[in-house]
Amino acid sequence: MPMLYNDKQISAVSKELQRKFIAGECEAHDVVITLIALNKAGRIVESTVKEVMMNVFFHNRAGVLRALQKAEDLIDEMTINNIVSEVQATK
């Protein structure tokens, strides 16, 4: 089983996702999908997903909720599980 990211790694992920979002290199739903995939892969826990999203979107609750809704419209849990399984199978 993969090890959870430590605080330093989580901070780096959070800062990089925020940087990419601000620079327009990714959209809000991309941030959500990335974090959900990290959760499903066993790298971060659900509470960390929320924490990072709040940081990336500058504690804008409405922005977080919009990003979650858009991500939900684009991708389902089975798709995330399939991607995680494929990545884990690749060595």
8-50 pLDDT, tens digit per residue, is: 999 999 999 999 999 999 999 999 999 998 998 899 999 999 9
- Contact between 14 and 6 (Cβ < 8 Å): no
pTM of the model: 0.84
Rg (CA), the chain: 13
Mean pLDDT (whole number) for 61-79:
89
Distance CA 15, CA 71 (A): 20
Q: Quick one: what percent of the chain has pLDDT higher than 70?
A: 95
Q: What is the pLDDT of residue 2?
A: 79
Q: What is the pLDDT of residue 23?
A: 98
